[in-house]
Amino acid sequence: MAKSWYILHTYNGYEGKIERTLRSMLEAKEIDPAILIDVKVPVEEIVEIKDGKKRTRKNKFLPGYIMLEMDLPDLGWKSVCSQIRRIQGVTGFVGTNPSERPRPITSDEAKNLLVKSGEIAGEKVQHKKQSFEIGDHVKIIDGPFATFSGTVEDVNLEKDKLRVMVQIFGRATPVEVNLLQAEKI
């Protein structure tokens, strides 16, 4: 037996309910905690500006899928897997028939999914909803240059900054703003 990550396919929108069901089954000792170690619904944080306010929301980047960390025994795996499959909203394990032993994903795949959802790194990765390109017309919505409009001259994704050319007193002036302080026109 070795710990591995498995992908469970569910009905879209049932991920949270199934995660709660699995966690309650673990607490009630209906599933051995030595076999089912962890349950994760992969989500990423999206930062967007709406009505002039910065809002953060969680977005499932694998809708209809749940990650299970399990240590499946050589004998008795069928009873555990069928117990999980019987939960309402579960369609099965990815890549296998109900009569077959589930196949784990590779450790690299699991690591990539966990990093994307911010589970491995110390900080959660936040993704900006808007993407800007050089030449885009934008309106600055926050900060000292709010209400100014201009054209994007440079995009620095590492620093989350834009350099925008705006008209100040009749002259084209470059201003540096945060990605969240501008929106496309």
123/29: higher pLDDT = 29
Neighbouring C-alpha atoms within 13 Å toward the C-beta of 150? 27
**So what's the pLDDT on residue 51?**
61
Stated pTM of the model: 0.68
Average pLDDT over residues 31-38: 93
pLDDT surpasses 80 at 148? yes
The 10s digit of each residue's pLDDT in 174-185 is: 999 988 888 888
Can you give the pLDDT at residue 28? Answer: 94
pLDDT in tens, 42-84: 888 877 766 666 778 888 888 999 999 999 988 889 999 999 9
Residues near 26 by beta carbon (within 8 Å), at least 6 away in sequence: 33, 36
Average pLDDT of the segment spanning 165-170: 91
Model confidence at 36: pLDDT above 90: yes
pLDDT in tens, 88-128: 999 999 988 888 999 999 999 998 888 888 777 544 555 55
Beta partners for 4? 70
Q: Please report where in the chains the tokens 């905690």 appear, as a residue.
A: 33
Q: Hey, is 102 helix, strand or coil? A: coil
Distance CA 19, CA 89 (A): 11
